Amino acid sequence: MPGMETTTVLNSLEIAGRPQDTRVVVAMSGGVDSSVTAALLKAEGYDVVGVTLQLYDHGAATHRKGACCAGQDIYDARSVAERIGIPHYVLDYERRFKEMVIDRFAESYVAGETPVPCVECNQSIKFRDLLETARQLGAKVLATGHYIASRAVAQGGRGLFRARDAERDQSYFLFATTREQLDLLRFPLGDKTKAETRELARRFGLSVADKQDSQDICFVPSGRYTEVIERLKPGAAEPGDIVDLDGRVLGRHSGIIHFTVGQRRGLGIAAGHPLYVVRLDAVARRVVVGPREALRTSRMRLRDVNWLGEDTIDHALCAGWHEVFVKVRSTRPPQPAWLSRGAGGIEVDLVAGEDGVSPGQACVFYDAAEGQARVLGGGFIQSAVTAAQALPTRREARVPSNAGRM
């Protein structure tokens, strides 16, 4: 009637329109999570199209337990698609994956960093290239089996939130997702546990219901990443010195790619006390070792920061400091920290410090320490300052007001 306002009805994916009129591309890796995602959406009546990316074929990797996006997984994804009655396509992304993920992984290790290839894969392959493919197929959204939640937020657009199942939460690997990508991404498993997902797989009669989960570094055939690096970067394993904090030579090593910050075993040094890898000097080919207390990091400088909080990061830092909770490793809980802009870019001061922080790792920001906290963004660690090196004037006596919730 004239003058009456019409209300837009949203479906379960928070998109206007009926499910049957909404095409959804599901990234199907061949595992139980993405398979259940496709089955759930199909059961709700959506026009589902399954897409599997062939990312690599390293012989042994195609048959190794824990590998993904290779031979067996493509077969499993196709079988699931046939079971639930959806079209399925396999796209050859091998060259792109090698350039954007594997090569960068090798370059990062040679530079003495500890890279996180899953972040690069999500950022460059799945949420950029595959998202464009989904658009070309006429899809309104791309859905994945990641354990993370996406919801509309008050200021407009969508926000990322930690999964309900804290042990399965994958937000650490998805911090680089952009606001524009979030508008077109959906994560149906964000509020489910792994046990619930496997039970759904059994109800749908999926052959992958009890399939083993894939490993983080999925493209390493033997599980030994140094083999991949040496094959891609001949001569990368150049020998050098193992030195203490004062530069005294304690021994020799066969290449810094065999070491990571925080490592204790395999140093090949006879000492009267435990020694840990404190720093890797790629230019001088030196492995710097020291006592455990030398691993304690108080401040980090970040690069390639992606902000997903309200407004802009500059607005958040308008008062000089912004309290957040951060994760520097996927398996560690968020801890209180202060975010600021220093002379060299965005810096993070850790209230309690952190052991074993290495350049190349991701540092992800959250608005709370527990529960389904919102992901505020993150960046890659460019450099780290130990607690002993930090200037007292930069060590804030304040503690984030909600730190007591940890």
Residue 406: which residues within 8 A CB-CB, separation 6 or more? Answer: 325, 333, 334, 335, 336, 369, 370
Token pair of 323 as six digits: 């309290």
Q: How far apart are CA 294 and CA 317, in angstroms?
A: 30
Inter-helix orientation angle 194-203/32-43, to 10°:
60
Give me the residue label for tokens 């009926």: 18
Q: If DSSP codes are grouped into helix, strand and coil, which group holds residue 171? A: helix
Contact indicator for 17, 11 with CB cutoff of 8 Å:
yes
Q: Is 69 a catalytic residue?
A: no
Q: How far apart are CA 114 and CA 94, in angstroms?
A: 23
List C-alpha distances in Å: 118 to 97, 113, 179, 189, 292.
11, 15, 19, 19, 28
Strand pairing of 297-307 and 345-354? antiparallel
Can you say whether the dihedral through the CA atoms of 377, 113, 63, 167 is positive or negative? negative
Element (H, E) at 118: helix 117-120
Catalytic residue among 68, 69, 118, 218: 218
Contact indicator for 69, 29 with CB cutoff of 8 Å:
yes
Catalytic residue among 68, 69, 118, 121: 121
Q: Is 218 a catalytic residue?
A: yes
Residue 294: which residues within 8 A CB-CB, separation 6 or more? Answer: 245, 276, 278, 386, 388
Q: If DSSP codes are grouped into helix, strand and coil, which group holds residue 220? A: coil
- Tell me which residues are annotated as active site: 121, 218
